[in-house]
Amino acid sequence: MTKTIVVLGAGAMGSAMCTPLTQAGWETRLWGTWLDDHLIDACEAGQPHPRTNVPLAVGTKMYRSGQLDEALDGADAVILSVASQGVPKVTEMALQGISKSKVLLLTSKGFCPDDDGKIQLLPDAIRRIAAANSVELPPIVAVAGPCKANEVADGKPTATIYGSLDRSVAEQMAKQISTDAYCIQPTDDEIGVEVCAPMKNVYAIALGLADGLEAGTGFPHHNLKAATFAQAVREMSELSKALGADPVTAYGLAGVGDLEVTGLSGRNKVYGLRIGRGEPAVEALEAMIAAEQTVEGVPAAGLAKLLVEQFGQGLAASLPLLAAVQRVIAGEENPKEIVQAAVLPAKLI
């Protein structure tokens, strides 16, 4: 029997997911938030999706923001694919429908402060919201790894990782959603998957700084970029471990793979490159915002700082590259600061 899945959020990743989902045989519904009307308009008009430049997968049913209940009606699975700031609100709006489904997948990524300012990973934030509303949730599956939305939408080869506290749930979804092009690795390390996803945006800024030093001086800084990459992976592993994850998760698709794809292109890297080239951090960010280029790594770096502080000095000391990126973003340090943070730890291990 055909199963039904609802994608909440019609942005780049939400719309892209419709490609493997329809190919894998799901009845696929795409719900756009109140911010997504123009995206749904374009798709309904048969145009490519404005964020991925790829037409929406044939057979996808589209729903407007006012049609949330209709979209969720009878859904076997729900995928939450909104920007991380929108997660609490959309979760609350969709809570009844989610509770009736058998699984909640999550492509949204980020750190979410609770009412007391404590930083939570998104699955925990969703569980907190559900508990506050006395609603029971189905199992959560965190979806991450090196997935540029336009390539997923276009059916290009992609390897991704699905993490659920109950490994059998991750395995089941991996079987039911994998296609020849979209290959899913299941894991029980929900935490590791969730930590790496926002952190790779922070560390992509550091990779951009190395590129910017090259662009600004005319001299390659490949050794620096590679040292930065290795230190970033090490720090993602350290932070994951502190939060209870398997330290090895950061060494796979969720960390190494996702940092590689983020460092190849993307806004975080471009922002870092501008600073590395010599632009003051504040001006670089203003220019990106003026061009409607959200730099996710900037708020993530601030929230990561608060998160690390929840664990005390020992953890902070093992994350010198994170601290250096935070100082560079704050305009407190010359981007060359990154050099010491990337290569010096070699001496200290």
- Given the rule CB under 8 A, which residues bind a copy of itself? 146-148, 150-152, 154, 156-161, 174, 178, 181, 183-186, 219-227, 229-231, 233-234, 237, 248, 251-253, 256-258, 260-261, 264-265, 339, 342-347, 349
Distance, CA of 47 to CA of 54 (rounded, Å): 8
Residue with Cβ nearer a copy of itself (135 or 159):
159
Q: Order of strands across the sheet with 103-106?
A: 61-63, 27-31, 4-8, 77-80, 103-106, 140-144, 158-163, 182-187
Taking the CB of residue 338, how many other CB atoms lie within 10 A of it?
31
Residue 120: strand pairing partners: 112
Tell me how far, at minimum, the Cβ of 221 lies from a copy of itself, in Å: 6
Quick one: tokens of 321?
């590259």
CB of 181 to a copy of itself, least distance (A): 7
Q: Which is nearer to a copy of itself, 184 or 245 (CB)?
A: 184
CA-nearest of 243, 268, 300 to 113 is 300
Q: How far is the CB of 167 from a copy of itself (least distance, A)?
A: 12
When computed from its CA atoms, the radius of gyration of the chain, rounded to whole angstroms, is 20
179 CB contacts (<8 Å, ≥6 apart)?
Answer: 20, 23, 24, 155
Q: Which is nearer to a copy of itself, 225 or 274 (CB)?
A: 225
Judged by beta carbon, residue 62 or residue 224, the one nearer a copy of itself is 224
State which amino acid sits at residue 38.
H
CB of 115 to a copy of itself, least distance (A): 37
How far from 92 is each of 35, 72, 98, 164, 295, CA to CA, in Å? 17, 13, 10, 21, 26
Minimum distance, C-beta of residue 158 to a copy of itself, in the bound complex (Å): 4
Cβ 31 to a copy of itself, closest distance in Å? 25
Nearer to a copy of itself, 78 or 210 (CB): 210
Q: 77 or 184: whose CB is closer to a copy of itself?
A: 184
